[in-house]
């Protein structure tokens, strides 16, 4: 059974710092991995999608990497801003059409 | 813009009174999902439709039902809401091949 873990559970950094969020999964047989952002009381906004054949994806200040063999993905945020404060969730596409979510990392960027 | 729309954004229902949440999409995606997310927890898949083919998760309570009358719409019915069913309910869609999810904004359900 696929299990997804995100570390740390919460993170507080000063504005301008580069930071890395981690996601690990137990079964390397995945279709893809998607990173989401969730603001308090809101739905999920897709940030980056990495297919199983890819090693990384980039969008603006965000870069996500995937290492299937080690069961890990990282989300790198460059030059963090207060507007980046949110919960970041990774979801692993494991099994037909089904995503398994991690519990998220709550990020707070201090001005 | 193509999107996933959930209505209502906030729903208050009485203990034991049936409630229906709705989701519509303009993406023409084959697959639609319902997730339940409780405070500070990961979203939990309740069920999904591949076209009209309904797929229930093994641990989804019988109290939760779903309908998909056409490609664009999907409904979540909670037959007898309990206090423990208070949560954010998230609808998502994906295309036939695993190209990632698109989520709606969610419905926050309160049970009083």
Residues of chain A in contact with residue B106, where contact means CB-CB under 8 angstroms, are: 42-43
Q: Are the C-beta atoms of residues A46 and B102 closer than 8 Å to each other? A: yes
A90 → chain B, closest CA residue: B42
Averaged pLDDT score across all residues of chain B: 93
Backbone torsions φ then ψ of B70, nearest 5 degrees: -155, 180
Separation between Cα atoms, residue B26 and residue B102, nearest integer Å:
11
Q: Are the C-beta atoms of residues A107 and A47 closer than 8 Å to each other? A: no
Separation between Cα atoms, residue B99 and residue A40, nearest integer Å:
26
Contact residues for B64 (Cβ-Cβ < 8 A; gap 6+): B34, B46, B47, B76, B77, B78, B79
- Report the length, in residues, of chain B: 112
Residues of chain B in contact with residue A46, where contact means CB-CB under 8 angstroms, are: 100-103
B29 → chain A, closest CA residue: A97
Query: Which candidate, B19, B9, B37, places its Cα nearest to that of B107?
Result: B9
Percent of chain B with pLDDT over 70: 95
Residue with the bigger pLDDT between A1 and B105: it is: B105
Separation between Cα atoms, residue A102 and residue A50, nearest integer Å:
16
Q: What is the 3-state secondary structure (H, E, C) of B52-67?
A: CEEEECCCCCCCEEEE
Separation between Cα atoms, residue B80 and residue B97, nearest integer Å:
35
Give how far B18 is from chain A: nearest CA, Å.
Answer: 23
Where residue B92 falls among pLDDT bands split at 50, 70, 90? very high
Q: Answer whether residue B68 shows pLDDT above 90.
A: yes
Do residue B42 and residue A36 have CB atoms under 8 angstroms apart?
no
Q: Answer whether residue A95 shows pLDDT above 90.
A: no
Query: Which candidate, B9, B5, B36, places its Cα nearest to that of B23?
Result: B5
Residues of chain A in contact with residue B104, where contact means CB-CB under 8 angstroms, are: 43
In DSSP terms, A77 is beta-bridged to A19, A62
Q: Answer whether residue A99 shows pLDDT above 70.
A: yes
Backbone torsions φ then ψ of B96, nearest 5 degrees: -55, -50
Give how far B106 is from chain A: nearest CA, Å.
Answer: 5
B3 → chain A, closest CA residue: A45
Q: Answer whether residue A42 shows pLDDT above 90.
A: no
In DSSP terms, B64 is beta-bridged to B78
Residue A5 token pair: 């873990």
Do residue B102 and residue A46 have CB atoms under 8 angstroms apart?
yes
């Amino acid at each position: 059974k696929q299990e997804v873990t995100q570390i740390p559970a919460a993170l507080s950094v000063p504005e301008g710092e580069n930071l890395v969020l981690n996601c690990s999964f137990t079964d390397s047989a995945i279709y893809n991995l998607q990173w989401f952002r969730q603001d308090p009381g809101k739905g999920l906004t897709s940030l980056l999608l990495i297919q199983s054949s890819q090693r990384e994806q980039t969008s603006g200040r965000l870069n996500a990497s995937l290492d299937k063999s080690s069961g890990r993905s990282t989300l790198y945020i460059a030059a963090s801003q207060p507007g980046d404060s949110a919960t970041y969730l990774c979801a692993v596409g494991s099994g037909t059409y089904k995503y398994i979510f991690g519990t998220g990392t709550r990020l707070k960027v201090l001005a | 813009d193509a999107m996933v729309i959930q209505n209502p954004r906030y729903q208050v229902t009485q203990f034991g009174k049936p409630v229906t949440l709705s989701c519509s999409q303009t993406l023409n995606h084959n697959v639609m999902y319902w997730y339940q997310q409780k405070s500070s927890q990961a979203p939990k898949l309740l069920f999904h439709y591949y076209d009209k083919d309904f797929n229930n998760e093994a641990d989804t309570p019988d109290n939760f039902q779903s309908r998909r009358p056409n490609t664009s719409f999907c409904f979540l019915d909670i037959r007898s809401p309990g206090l423990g069913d208070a949560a954010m309910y998230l609808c998502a869609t994906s295309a036939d091949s695993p190209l990632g999810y698109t989520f709606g904004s969610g419905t926050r359900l309160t049970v009083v």
